[in-house]
Structures are given as C-alpha cells and as structure tokens.
Homo-oligomer: A and B are copies of this chain.
C-alpha cells in the first residue's frame, strides 16, 4: 500500500547537489510537509559512472526511502533522472519525479529561437535524455548539448567566481556561443552555484533554466493532483523536522551543505544502502 498524505516526501541525490532541489521544495511546500533527504555521499559522483552502476545505486536508494514510508520520490539528480527514472518507476508504487522533464518543460516555455542549450555531467549528456524530452515537447527545436564535468568539482570546492571557474566556463561554453541559443538548461544540480560565471560567459541574451525550481513546482502540482499534499495552513508538528541521511559520515556534507542551503543544516544520520 502506498502511504497517504501524512507520509514524508523523499528527495534522493547522489550527494550534496540535490540540496538545491530541497531548498526549492521548502520554498513552495506547506510547512507541515516533512522531507526525508538521502545523499549517497559514499559513492558520489554518479555523473562519471556507467548506466548499469547508476541504476543499481538508484534502486538501492529508492528501496531505502520506500522503507521509510515516503509518499513520493523526487530524484534530485540529473544523472539519475536521465538514466534510472524508468527502473525506479517500475520498482516503486508511488509517484517518482525526476528533474529532466520539469527542466525540459521550463526550457521549452522560455525559448523563442527554438535553439536550446543543455549542459550536464558526462552521463547525463551521453544519455540524450534532455534532447529527447525537449524534442517531445517542441518538435522543431534544436538542442545543443555539452558535458561540463569539472563544474561539479568547482562547486564543491567553493570556486564559483574565481579565475579557475571563469577559465573552465570559457573552455566549455565558448563553442556554444555561436550556436544562436537563447536558453541554456543547467542540467546538473551543482551548476546553479556557478550561475553568475556561466551567465557572463554565455552572454546575457541567453536565459538560464534552473531545473531545481521547475522540479519543485512540478512536484507540488503532482502531489496536489494526487491529493497527497498537506493542507497549506497546517503547521509543522513538533518533532517532525526534515531528516538528512548520508552514506558517508564526513563533515563535508555539513560544510558544503550549508553553502548550498545558505544556512546551517539540520539533523544528519549515516546509513548503509548495501545491507
């Protein structure tokens, strides 16, 4: 049986980047909604790994969150959304929401020229998932994609506006500048941290689409349609704060997590997904 509206909302990421989705969700969900976050920090990153490995890790994490009674699963990782959404949907008897479809929706609404850029991890770009999702919605669109693997390390290092970030943005994005795109999807949850440098490099005429915000809005709508959303006016019950699970006990999640959230992180617990 699937949990009703009183269940928590599961947010699953390969590590820390999904906190951008968590933050966007908190901004649009009623205060009574409780979020359970899982970051697979002991095996992060997924974006440089193969489809078979990403699917295996996704199913392990999905099972973990299902056992915690989540009423919906939000896959807050572009790589996992690109490679493992269908396997997760087959395995879970509850709504599973990825970041690709909401991101593609937002990009198709934003573009005027019909030329849409997508940047993401190697695995996301190789999968062609954004390309397919955009063409499904806007058959005449042209999609120009580029893998930018180093942006993840830059965001985690906190190097979001220095010479290294600017040199990396130039190396990755220079080739996209002549393509005539007016919209660029930030197809990795880490990339919004580099928004300013990416925007300066690609040019102010290009609109940047942050899939975290689009996903939070889509998740709220889906929960509302499925009568799974708490009452907007209901206050949060005492002792039901959000819960963060990680697979690596490192301090880094606290430190970098606070950078992502813009405030100190809450309750954190280490778990093992392989047992």
Residues on A close to B: CB < 8 A? 41-44, 48-50, 52-53, 122, 149-150, 152-154, 156-157, 159, 162-164, 166-168, 170-171, 247-252, 274
Contacts and interface: CB of A to CB of B under 8 A. Distances in A.
A156 B122 CA distance: 12
A237 to B, nearest CB: 33
Contacts of A156: 48, 149
A252 B159 CA distance: 26
A250 B42 contact: no
B159 A163 contact: no
A60 B43 CA distance: 14
Contacts of A53: 42, 247-250
| Copies of this chain in its oligomeric complex | 2
A49 B248 contact: yes
B150 A252 contact: no
Nearest to A41: B49
A164 B168 contact: yes
Contacts of A44: 48
A212 to B, nearest CB: 22
A260 B30 CA distance: 52
Nearest to A40: B43
A52 B153 contact: no
Nearest to A256: B48
A163 to B, nearest CB: 4
A42 B49 contact: yes
Nearest to A172: B164
A235 B251 CA distance: 50
A153 B249 CA distance: 23
Contacts of A162: 167, 171
A44 B45 CA distance: 8
Contacts of A48: 44, 156, 250, 252
Contact of A164 (B157, B164, B250): B164
A50 B253 CA distance: 11
